[in-house]
Copies of this chain bind each other. A is one copy, B any other.
Amino acid sequence: KSLEDVLKEKGVITEDDYKNIQKSSPIKYKLGDGFTFTSADGKFSTSIGGVYQLRYTLMDLDDVNNTAAKRAQDYSKFELKRIKLHFNGYAYSPDLTYKMQLNFANIAGGTTNNGGLLEFAWLNYRLRDEIQFRFGQDKVQFGRQWITSSDAQQFVDTSAVTSAFVPGYDTGVMIHGKIAGGLVNYNIGGYGGVGQNTYRTTTDNSFAARLAVNPLGDVKYSESDVEYSVNPLVSFGANFFRDTIYNGETNNLFFAKSTSWYGLGSTLMTKKFSAGEPLDFNTAGADAVFKWRGFSATGEYFFAEADGQTSKNRLRADGFYAQAGYFVIPKTVELAYRYSYIDPNRDVTNDHWVENTGAVSWYINKQNLKIQADYTNIHKQAAIASTSGKNATDDQQVRFQVQMQF
């Protein structure tokens, strides 16, 4: 029993006093935020919390291109997928907010992976809801599923399409706002252009813009209808991203990894880009969401193009995913299915990457504590098959994941 409880019982303070006091408590636990400390004058607040994603993956690679002597190496992997801590809050005024997030799973195997420890490190000033300024490292606001936290996914992880087309994190400035209580949200930003925790000394910065329309009310960036929306919700979004990268330049951009559209597609070009030449990247995407009474559906399409400034050669790619889920036990157990498709080079054939995924999720405490399992058939056509040879491959992947926010 707390002091407030005792004094309320004794009649020293009233029920109203009690409620006021609870509200002004300097320390509170908030789901998703963790422990929140607030200064007596209300001008400063810090929340300290974290999230664990502990994963087991079983991968059965297709042996169709192999001989009896040369087998593909299957694997069985226990993994600290994401181990994050965050320090969020506001300082000097509730209008000046900040978010610092560290992912310690990004140091593994003796080196820094996935761009390093720092994910978010931004400062946001709210002039009014409609006009806000952000400075620092943030998710580049391109791709609905990417903007959605890895903690709030319908499957064990984002789709292969999202990983293949989004830029990832970067440092820069952004103007953004919510208009009419979230019916329209916009973001316009300029960034360094080489991704998370990476810098370069050129003047080639990148640019991103996004517009989302939510005609029936604001729709959070969170997959699944774990809240059981009594009224239907829809959201439509469109985004654009442009950047200039030197061919072969070291960067932490997601779309430039060897398994992404540019990584895969550029190796298949008949007339390749020159070494070190500047490439102009233009990427566009559109997305839609529907949620109602435990049912949710999301779809997203991406188109991307890279143009060599000197060689004048061109690479074009596209891809999309569509996913739907339904809570067979409302707010608790969900079944979901996803189809995803990537064509990393539209000018060559036999290079499609198609994934079919089925998932079952047990939301013990909404997105805060959940256990998920999914099964994926990974189909890669011969030009990009997982084992080299003349045949397409179908790899079978089973993942199991426990997620806990504290």
Contacts and interface: CB of A to CB of B under 8 A. Distances in A.
Interface of A: 1-4, 6-7, 10, 12-13, 17, 20-22, 24-29, 34-35, 37, 39-41, 43-44, 46, 48-50, 52, 54, 56, 59, 73-80, 83, 85, 87, 89, 91-92, 96, 98, 100, 102, 104-105, 107-112, 115-118, 121-123, 135-137, 170-173, 190-192, 197-203, 205, 250, 252, 364-365, 368-369, 402, 404-406
A118 B4 CA distance: 40
A27 B27 contact: yes
Given A78-B171, A83-B100, A192-B77, A4 B2 contact: no
A136 B54 contact: yes
Contacts of A24: 1-2
Contact of A10 (B13, B26, B110, B115): B13
A39 B123 CA distance: 28
A35 B46 contact: yes
Contacts of A115: 110
The majority secondary structure among interface residues of chain A is strand
B76 A205 contact: yes
Contacts of A28: 39-40
B12 A7 contact: yes
A151 to B, nearest CB: 14
Contacts of A200: 75, 77
Given A80-B121, A91-B406, 6 more contacts: A1-B24, A28-B39, A29-B37, A54-B122, A78-B170, A107-B107
Nearest to A12: B12
A116 B108 contact: yes
Number of copies: 3
A202 B46 CA distance: 43
A201 B6 contact: no
A75 B136 contact: no
21 contacts: A1-B21, A6-B17, A7-B7, A7-B13, A29-B37, A35-B37, A46-B406, A48-B48, A54-B135, A80-B137, A83-B118, A91-B369, A92-B364, A98-B404, A104-B117, A105-B121, A107-B112, A107-B197, A110-B116, A110-B198, A111-B112
Contacts of A111: 110, 112
Nearest to A252: B110
A203 B75 contact: yes
Contacts of A405: 91
A4 B2 CA distance: 10
B121 A52 contact: yes
Contacts of A369: 91-92, 96
A256 to B, nearest CB: 14
A136 B117 CA distance: 19
Contact of A123 (B44, B91, B402): B402
Contacts of A107: 107, 112, 116-118, 197
B13 A6 contact: yes
Contact of A402 (B22, B75, B117, B135): B135
A404 B134 CA distance: 13
A54 B199 CA distance: 13
Contacts of A27: 26-27, 37
B77 A201 contact: yes
B46 A79 contact: no
